[in-house]
Amino acid sequence: MLSGLIPILIVFLVLGLGAILVVSLMGKSKGGGSGGGGAGGGKRVKGRDAIIRDANKKLAQNPRDPDALLAIGDIYYQEGTWDLAYRTYETLSEMTGSHPNMNEFLINLRYGIAGVKMNQPNEAHKALSTAVAINSSDFDANYNLGAIEFQRKNYEKAVFHYQKAKARDPEHAPTLRGLGHSLFKMKKYKEALAFIRKAMDLAPEDKESLYILADCYFEANQVDQAVKIFTHLRADPVQGPNASLSAGTINMNAHQFEKAIEDFEIGLRHENIKPDIMLELKYKLGTAYLRQNEIGKAIALFNDVRAINPAYKDVNTLIGRYQELNANRNLQIYLMSPQSDFIALCRKIVMNYYARAKVKITNISVNKNDWADVLAEIDTPKWSDIVMFRFVRSQGSVGELIVRDFHSHIKEVKAGKGICITPGGFSEEAIRFTEARLIDLIAKEKLTAVLNTLDARAAKASMSPAKK
């Protein structure tokens, strides 16, 4: 019976000794990790304060002691104390030439990264360039050098270094972002799209990249995708003003003026809008209002723009032109209303052009939205004839070609006289052409008088029943 218990006792004895050994080893491990020494008398590891204290003692005797500088530089760098790390590695970089045993690559890499953190791009660029010259494939050196080249607008160099960094870490979102943004600046929109999309898969909250992505879609003629993103970004406090401006511009180019007005108005609701974006939003909102014939609102916005920048684009010309229109409803119709309203106004002018005349309009023809020709039989107490009227809508200068075409049309219909009317003026060549021909030229000043006469006659007609 005793002999049967011996193997069991041996097993318990072995397990007990094993447990004691494990506890002993754990104690040694803990002692070594804390820097306090283990049970077996392991080597003591100095703490941070002790290293800095010893290094400062050495530096008090020799400010360029390489071991001391390396020791405290490593601590400052690892802790992210960038001002002290920058100064320390700056000194070390100056010493590499006289101390061949120093790690020149690591010193310049850390000096450059600390320079980036301290917003010292020139020194950082020099140090990182040295690091890349020693190790051309290092990720940190290439990534940070790419970021500096991007800030310097050296986009080709930025792409080169970002590509090097990407080869080492293909899933690093800031590298992909920088690569995409650089390619966008180089107008390589389709290439930029791929990198920005991947960067946003890794960092979906990057609204600036989302805006650039929309810009890439626009430049790649994927307008629907672009406007969808710009519209989504309109409410963003940072990207919102730019996105609203972009969305509104696309909608205005597509003649979606109500949508454009909504975009621009949303953009202007933001706070802290950049002055140039503010001006453009107001200018384009005013332009969109003009297209909707809301001239009063447009003029108010143009006046705001002029108050900030009197020389902004053609704002002075627009104010001068549309202030007059705002005060003259007939001139608004002549220049800006749909074709049906314009033709109705032309008919009214023809019917009232000659005092005490019987007028019969026999034909109206329209050339796109450029002009309308109205043929009428005129019978006055003194004469009767067929007269052709041409109403030109442009406020520019009417040239000889338009007048020549008008003269040909007059002969075709066998009219005895022609009257060419414009809210602008006539070129010298056009005036000379009509000197020996039965064509009267009516420019802006005379047209305005005619339109005012219409209002006066309308007012008189409305009062006649009361007089009776």
Tens-digit pLDDT profile for residues 447-459: 999 998 886 665 5
Q: Which of 288, 308, 329 is the last residue of a domain?
A: 329
Question: Is 391 found in the same domain as 246?
Answer: no
Residues in the chain: 468
Token digits for 179?
């690569």
What is the amino acid identity at position 322? Y
Round to whole Å and give the CA distance between 212 and 191. 13
**Do 305 and 373 lie in a common domain?**
no
Q: Which of 281, 311, 329 is the last residue in one of the domains?
A: 329
**CA 396 from centre of chain:** 33
Q: Are residues 401 and 312 in the same domain?
A: no
Number of domains the chain is built from: 2
The identity of residue 104, as a single letter, is E
Give the end of a domain, one of 296, 329, 362.
329
- Those residues whose C-beta lies under 8 Å from the C-beta of residue 401, and which sit 6 or more positions away, are none
Q: What is the pLDDT of residue 460?
A: 56
Answer yes or no: are the C-beta atoms of 58 and 64 closer than 8 Å: no
pLDDT tens by residue, 314-336 = 999 999 888 888 888 898 899 88
pLDDT for res 21: 41
* CATH code of the domain covering residue 200: 1.25.40.10
Confidence band of 466 (pLDDT split at 50, 70, 90): very low
Structural domain contains residue 27 = no
- pLDDT digits over 73-96, tens only? 999 999 999 999 999 999 999 998
**Do 454 and 432 touch, CB atoms closer than 8 A?**
no
Residues 305 and 167 grouped into a single domain: yes
CATH of the domain at 396: 3.40.1350.10
Beta strand extents in 11-118 (DSSP E only)? none
Do residues 161 and 68 both lie within one domain?
yes
Structural domain boundaries enclosing 259: 48-329
- Determine the residue type at 308: I
What are the pLDDT digits (tens) for 115-132? Answer: 999 999 999 999 999 999
Task: Answer yes or no: do 110 and 244 share one domain.
Answer: yes
Q: In sequence order, what are the residues at sequence separation of 6 or more whose Cβ sits closer than 8 angstroms to the Cβ of residue 440?
A: 417, 418, 419, 420, 434
Q: What is the pLDDT of residue 300?
A: 95
Q: Phi and psi dihedrals of 365, rounded to 5? A: -130, 145
How confident is the model over 397-425, as a mean pLDDT?
95
Residue 67 lies in a domain: yes
User: What is the percent of the chain where pLDDT is above 90?
Assistant: 73
pLDDT class for 5, splitting at 50, 70, 90?
very low
Dig out the tokens for 163 from the structure.
Answer: 């590509």
What is the reported pLDDT for 214? 96
Pairwise CA distance, residues 240 & 17, whole Å: 71
Q: Are 104 and 96 in contact (CB under 8 A)?
A: yes
Distance CA 190, CA 225 (A): 14
213 shares a domain with 129: yes
Burial 89-119 (b: 16+ CB within 10 A, else e): bbbbbeebeeeeebebbbbbbbbbbbbbeee
pLDDT at 19 over 80: no
Residues 368 and 420 in one domain: yes
Contact 166, 179 (CB under 8 A): yes
Answer yes or no: do 96 and 236 share one domain.
yes
For residue 402, what is the enclosing H or E element?
A: helix 400-413
Looking at the whole model, is its pTM more than 0.75?
A: no
* Token pair listed for 63: 């400010």
